[in-house]
Amino acid sequence: MRSSYPEVEGVLAHVDKGILTLTLNRVEKKNAFTQTMYGAMADALAQASTDSAVRVVVIQGDANVFSAGNDIADFQTPSKVSQDKPVFRFMEEIARFPKPVLAAVCGPAVGIGTTLLLHCDLVYAGDNAAFSLPFVNLGLCPEAGSSLLLPKLLGHQRASEALLLGEPFFAEAALDMGLVNRIVPPTEANDHVQAQATKLAAKPLASLIATKRLLKQDSQAAVIARIREEALIFGEMLQGPAAQEAFAAFMEKRKPDFSKLAAQ
C-alpha cells in the first residue's frame, strides 16, 4: 500500500520506490516559504520518520529557483513567536530526521533556502545556484542552527563573511566550502538527486539510520538547542525597528537606512 502525503499550496509530495520527494512549487513567488508550506514540510518529515515505505527524502525546487527564503509578507504579519510555529517545527524536524535527506538546489537559495541545506546529508547544486544568508541585512539574526553549523562547516572567518555581510556566493564557492557535494547542469539536478536517492533506497535502512545517527550524535542536541535560542532572538528582532525598516524598504523598493537606529 502506497503511503499518502497531503499536498498543500506550494509543496508537492510524492512517494515512489522508497523515496519521498518534496517539491517546492510556488514558482511565481520564487518558492518563498509561507507558514502553510513550513507546516506541510514539518508534517511530511514527521510522518516519514516512522513510515516504513519511506527510506530517503528529497527536497527540490525547479531548474530556475530553489527558494527566495521566507515570504516577506509573512514576516510582516504580526504574530507571537513560539516553538509551535510551523517554521520552527520544520527546522526541528529536519534537524532530527533519522533517514537520509538529499537536496537539489538550482537558482536562488536565500535564507532558509540555504540554512535547511545544513541539515541535509547530500546536496547537489545546479551551476546557476546562488546562496545567501541576508539575516543581518534584514535586521535579524541567523536561524535553523546556522550560527552553530556554519562555522563548523566553513570556519569562523568564512562563516562570518557569509552571515555578517549577507552577500551571495555561488555554486563553485559552495562546493569549495563543502556545502554541496557536486555541481551539475540545472536541467539535470533533480534527476541526478533522484538517481542518488535511488542508490540509497536500495541499501539496508537500518545501516543508513545507524550511520547518520553516529555522524550526528555529538551535535544533534546542541543543534536543537541553538535552533531554539536563535528563534527567541529572531522573534524579538522581528518586532524591532531595524527589521521594520528593512521590510518597509523592501516593499517600497528602496535601500534601507539604519543610520538613525540605536543599538538594541
Greatest Cα-to-Cα distance within the chain, rounded to the nearest angstrom: 61
Rounded to two decimals, what is the model's pTM?
A: 0.94
pLDDT at 74: 75
| pLDDT interval class at 218 (50, 70, 90) | confident
β-sheet with 130-132: strand ranges across: 108-110, 130-132, 169-170
Residue 5 lies in a domain: no
36 occurs within a structural domain: yes
Domain annotation covers residue 78: yes
* Per-residue model confidence (pLDDT) at position 223: 97
pLDDT tens-place string over residues 128-142: 999 999 999 999 999
| C-alpha span between 58 and 228 (Å, rounded) | 25
- Please report whether residue 194 resides in a domain: no
CA distance 45 to 56: 11
Helices (H), 56-188: 72-75, 86-96, 112-115, 146-154, 156-160, 171-177
Number of CB atoms found within 10 A of residue 246's CB: 22
Structural domain count, the chain = 1
State the pLDDT at residue 123: 98
**Assigned C-alpha cell, 65:** 529557483
CATH code, domain with 104: 3.90.226.10
Domain that holds residue 136: 11-186+204-251
**181: confidence class by pLDDT, cuts 50, 70, 90:** very high
> Is residue 258 in some structural domain?
no
Percent of the chain with pLDDT over 90: 86
**Domain membership flag for residue 257:** no
Report pLDDT digits (tens) over 220-233. Answer: 999 999 999 999 99
Q: How far apart are CA 111 and CA 113, in angstroms?
A: 5
- Evaluate whether residue 95 is within a structural domain: yes
Report, as an integer, the average pLDDT of 3-19.
92
Any domain includes 118:
yes
The residue assigned the cell 553549523 is 149
More confident residue, 79 or 207: 207
